Amino acid sequence: MEQIILGDVTVTRVKEFYGSVELTPAEFFPDSPDGSWDEHRGWLAPDFWRPETGECHSAIQSWLLRSEGRTILVDTGVGNHKDRPYSPVWSRLDTGYLDNLAAAGVRPEDVDVVVNTHLHVDHVGWNTRLDGRSWVPTFPNATYLMTRRDFEFWDPANENRSVLGRGNQNVFEDSVTPVHQAGLTHLWEGTYRIDKNLRLGLAAGHTPGSSVLSLESGGDRALFVGDLVHTALQIVEPETNSCFCEDPAESRATRHKLLGQASENNALVFPAHFGGSGALEVERHGSKFAIKEWAPFSRIS
């Protein structure tokens, strides 16, 4: 079991998927500087990029936190059996995610809080599971924390336009609406305090309601940043956005701000999708940042 203790909080990595996302660096990160992937090939490959196939690799995973007697799940991956006609890499998966959660000592009914850092297809999938022909909450005793901004942006009734086009089709209907109708969601605005160790804050740009979870306990600090950084290249080239960022300028500004906070406070950064060691410490390097140290998790590649 991959676990680290930060103050009074235990953090466990729960994996769903690791592999190709069927996008090249030029497709996934179109504004990455010319030659940057080759320049950093020595540590981008093989955890984040396979030069032999030309494809980016990502982890789909949750961060499981135990804090003040409660069990908190940060992001819920893609989910099983879900129809994703415009995101075929995520369509109708059948993974052992719940078995991996059980291996960490957690049953679905044990989860007290679910944090969806934003409402993309690969962050809300296990919010629900298929029961017969109906989608029902996977974590029936949990409060699902979502930003009101993202909830309203992705609600199909509001007909907002997204850079994803139809890439998030069906997601709200099968992974958000069922838990909302069950009365399990809490739509927060501004900031939200989970407990004395954990606080949510808006970190807009990737989506209008993207959020970051800050951990402060004892002398330890950490930031769970969702898709603020989607690949390790964005640490050393923080101007680089993914093709899925709704507001490119805001996304860059938020990335600089939070990486700056992490470097100043010696905080571990936990992105949603890093393979390899999964989390890292960063340090400022002029107007950019550098990788100071990887977290002591086992590598997945």
Q: What is the pLDDT of residue 167?
A: 84
Q: What is the pLDDT of residue 301?
A: 62
pTM score, whole prediction: 0.97
Q: What is the pLDDT of residue 60?
A: 97
Q: Collect the ranges in the chain with pLDDT lower than 70.
A: 1, 301
CA 203 to chain centre: 13
Tokens, residue 151: 């909830």
- 13-72 tens-digit pLDDT: 999 999 999 999 999 999 999 999 999 999 999 999 999 999 999 999 999 999 999 999
Q: What is the pLDDT of residue 300?
A: 73
Domains recognised in the chain with CATH numbers: 5-294 (3.60.15.10)
